[in-house]
Structure 1
Amino acid sequence: MSAVEPGSAVSGLVERVKAILLQPTATWEVIDGEPATIGGLYKSYVIPLALIPAVAGLLGAIVFGYGMFGVSYRPTIVSSLVSAVVNFGLALGGVFLLALIIDGLAPSFGGVKNQIQAFKVAAYASTASWLAGIFMIYPPLGVLGLLGLYSLFLLYKGLPRLMKAPEEKATTYTVVVIIAAIVLAVIAMAVLSPIRSLGQSSGLMADHSAAAGTLTVGGNKVDLGELEAASKKMEAAAKQMESGEGPAPTDPNLLKAYLPADVAGFARTEVTTGSGGAGGVTGSQAEAVYTKGQSRIRLSVTDLGAAGALAGMAGAFNVQSSTETAGRYEKVGKVDGRMTTETYDSNSRHGEYNVLVGDRFMVAAEGDGVGMDELKAAVASVGPARLETLAKKG
């Protein structure tokens, strides 16, 4: 006899959504003992709810377009439809990948590996974020999408119970998975453009032929061995943040010394420094402004502390993305072994170039009236290799 998932009828779906949102503890207890299959959960729960932000975003783009600071933009129906389809596909793939991470990390936190239970967690915890997508139907209300963060609380309540993690390790397990979810969202944005251009409908597939195994996300291969190593880094970093025992933030004045007096013919006109933190997450930053005529570059060096190791997890996904439209391009990938992002608009001559150094420091250059070569020169002037040496000492 096949397993029957709740929500196979509209009324059942609505009741389950109300229950998980309003009575999460009791509902997770019910879910824990329910028979289920991944295919059944996709059909009865994931697909109907994941359609909400996709359809709402499509209608909002077509009817209202996008606007900010008095400038409005209305995409074509075709491009809006493609975006909706791709976003929907990424949502479906993201649930599966998150379930893989939940399942894979379970033994590290005293939990029990169980693919079905892990998929239940990923699917039902995503409920709030999918429902919040309804606000995309009217772009000015998009900020209310932050209500979807309630999904993090749902994850916190359901993860330890379904994966049988002991109480003393449950919090750290949850923190690591939450960070993984955030990383997945960033990666989804990074692979969105190439998936659009390729027109591929399969955003996620597993390749079990290799010993370690790989995943392919939008054409980007993920080495599961690297993912496991990265997850261990995440676990250690999360524990440091939770306990408040992470590395002490670098003295902002020391970071200030990495900012040169001039960059690519631009003279330094302003320098600011600062540090702080809470909840075990600490950091510091030094920032300088460089000008040449009407052009300016803002160059910063930020110590991310323990959170830097979490940001570095993107490297395990080997993300390589490049897109160009109407004089604007965006690139994500590794340059000299470091995760790098760059965006540039040739019409406004505005651009950004960011490099993660030593899984701890973020060097960022943003400029107006400049070329990308000047922004890259600004980052290079900081001396990424010297920062890597500093990261190892810390």
Structure 2
Amino acid sequence: MSMDNPMTEHGKSLVERAKAIILKPKEEWPVIAAEPSSQASILKSWVLPLAAIGPVASLIGGQVFGYGGFGFSYRPSILGAITSAVLSYLLTIVGVFILALIADWLAPKFDGTSNKLAAFKLVAYGATASFLAGIFGLIPALSVFGLLGLYSIYLFYTGAPVLMKVPEAKAGGYVAVTMVCAIVLSLIIAPIVGFVTAMSFGGPAAMFEDEDVAESSGTVSIPGMGSINVGEVEKMNKRMEDAASGKTKPVAVDSLKALLPESLGAYQRTAVETMGAGTVGTSVEATYTAEERSFDLKITDMHGLGALASMGSALGIEQSREDADGYERTHTVDGAMQTEKWSNSSSRGKFGRIVADRFLVEADGDARNIDELKAAVASIDPDNLEDLAS
């Protein structure tokens, strides 16, 4: 094995495997399916090196060429650029695991088979085009060519029948729904990106304590932040499976709506909106108005995907920013993630918290001060939500 062309677990170099999966995916997927690999080995030999391409390219490109246009350009601070690169790298790795879980429990819905290792292979190798397209971040002006990473959708489409045994006639639907779930998932975890401030980071190898890190035991350590028990990932998967199979159901919108008060101090409830998204979850949102001020109070039942909400709390994520106009803060209170944001100039803010690792309760809009938004969230009794969940 050479450092210039490192080998994968089963003898093919990274370059050979990448060329094969990009140029001849229908021939390469059966080879991948037959390999007796593990999630941990795929992670270390494939995902870790390829997932680093985009963050490293963007880090170097931002420092060398800078960003901008129309006569304006800037270069991010080296500390900020490094922090952004490491965070992007970490979230890419976590995203592979989570999307694999989603792909696994969706497969039976399209007459495929559930197979966690096969799903991990599908996501890890199917993302090859997306990983490689990250190189365009080296020259920010060419970053638009990163759209070539969308070829990964085709790779996913050709791999689903082989790895997940989804009939070809249903492969398109399977891929489409998986991508939609990925988008929904990103909307849920996106706020975590802004919450994280990395204090110190180790190399990729420091993230894993043993060869079986991705199996049913062990931990994934994030130096300077905390660690994730891999067993908890399995529990998260179980919750998602139960949700998909119908063993558990989202709280009915009428039950959530009943928790919204008619008034909050001087604010009167002027509108109510409800939404149901099948097994994904439900939400209710009410608008409260007092004279010229108005804010929304929203309760979201994330159902099976709510298991992801505990990830930020487990890491003990904390972040704060303050300037002359206001502040933004995220921390964990009594084991639950909580975030608040306030702007003095606009008298507008947001306050939200996670309840029972499943519900998101948040108030967002115009108010006299942040305390009014906090009071609105506090009006929703956590005990009532826990009772509904049980």
TM range (shorter): 0.5 to 0.7
Q: Of 355, 376, 379, which residue of structure 1 is paired with 2:377?
A: 379
CA distance in 1, matches of 2:12, 2:122: 14
Instruction: Indicate yes or no: 2:227 matched with 1:225.
Output: no
Q: 1:311 aligns with which of 299, 302, 306?
A: 306
Q: 3-state SS of the aligned residue for 1:313?
A: helix
- CA contact 1:259–1:288 (8 Å) conserved in 2: no
The offset of 1:288, in angstroms, is 1.5
Q: 2:341 aligns with which of 321, 340, 344?
A: 344
1:5–1:178: structure 2 CA closer, same or farther, 3 Å change rule? Answer: farther
d(CA) in 1 for partners of 2:388, 2:120: 41
Q: Tell me how far apart the structure 2 counterparts of residues 329 and 52 of structure 1 sit (CA, whole Å).
A: 28
Identity score, percent: 28
2:207 maps to 1:204: yes
Q: Distance in 2 between matches of 1:113 and 1:297?
A: 43
User: What does 1:160-199 align with in structure 2 at a 5 Å threshold?
Assistant: 161-162=162-163, 190=192, 194=196, 196-199=198-201
- Which ranges of structure 2 fall in alignment gaps of 5 or more residues? 2-6
One-letter code aligned to 2:340? T
Q: Which amino acid aligns with 2:28?
A: T
Residue aligned with 2:209, SS: strand
Instruction: Classify 1:353/1:225 alpha carbon distance in 2 versus 1 (closer, same or farther; 3 Å).
Output: same
Q: Which aligned pairs between 1:52-131 and structure 2 lie closer than 5 A?
A: 52-56=54-58, 59=61, 63-64=66-67, 76-87=76-87, 89-90=89-90, 93-94=93-94, 120-131=121-132
Flag the 1:355–1:385 CA change in 2: closer, same or farther, 3 A. same
> What residue in structure 2 maps to residue 239 of structure 1?
245
Q: After superposition, where does 1:134-173 map in structure 2 within 5 Å?
A: 151=152, 154-155=155-156, 158=159, 161-162=162-163
Superposition deviation, residue 380 in structure 1: 0.8
- Alignment match, 1:324: 320
Which residue number corresponds to residue 285 of structure 1? Answer: 284
Contact 1:364–1:379 (CA under 8 A) maintained in structure 2: yes
Listed one character per residue, the Cα deviations across residues 108-154 of structure 1 (whole Å, up to 9, x for unaligned) are: 9976776xx77644431222433554676659987x97875764664
- Give the counterpart of 2:219 among 214, 224, 234: 214
**RMSD of aligned alpha carbons:** 5.2
Residue pair 1:259, 1:382 contacting (<8 A) in 2 also: yes
Provide closer, same or farther for how the CA distance between residues 95 and 17 of structure 1 changes in structure 2, counting only shifts above 3 A: farther
Question: For residues 234 and 300 of structure 1, do their structure 2 counterparts lie closer, same or farther at Cα, with a shift above 3 Å needed?
Answer: same
C-alpha contact 1:176 1:235 (8 A) present in aligned 2: no
- 2-structure distance, mates of 1:16, 1:272: 53
- Distance in 2 (CA, whole Å) between partners of 1:145 and 1:260 is 47
Question: Which residue matches 2:11?
Answer: 4
CA shift in 2, pair 1:320/1:158, >3 Å? farther
Shift of 1:236: 1.2
1:249-300 deviations in Å (ceiling 9; x for gaps)? 6244x5444222443x44126212233446x55634232233465x543212
- The 5-angstrom pairing of residues 244-283 of structure 1 reads 247=249, 250-252=252-254, 255-263=256-264, 265-268=265-268, 270-277=270-277, 281=280, 283=282
Confirm or deny: 8 A CA contact 1:125 1:155 kept in the other structure: yes
The answer to whether the 8 A contact 1:52-1:133 is kept is yes
Q: Which residue identity is paired with 1:299?
A: L
One-letter code aligned to 1:51: I
Deviation string 1:64-118 (CA, Å, 9 cap, x unpaired) is: 3599xxxx9956331443135314641674378569969x99xx9976776xx77
Rounded Cα–Cα distance in structure 2 between residues aligned with 1:225 and 1:255: 31
| Conservation of the 8 A alpha-carbon contact between 1:206 and 1:214 | yes
SS of 1:206's partner is: coil
Aligned length: 361
3-state DSSP class of the match of 1:382? coil
Deviations 1:179-218 (A, max 9, x none): 6997699668737765533344457323689x95333245
**What is residue 365 of structure 1 aligned with on the other side?**
363
| Residues in 1 aligned to 2:22 and 2:187: alpha-carbon distance in whole angstroms | 25
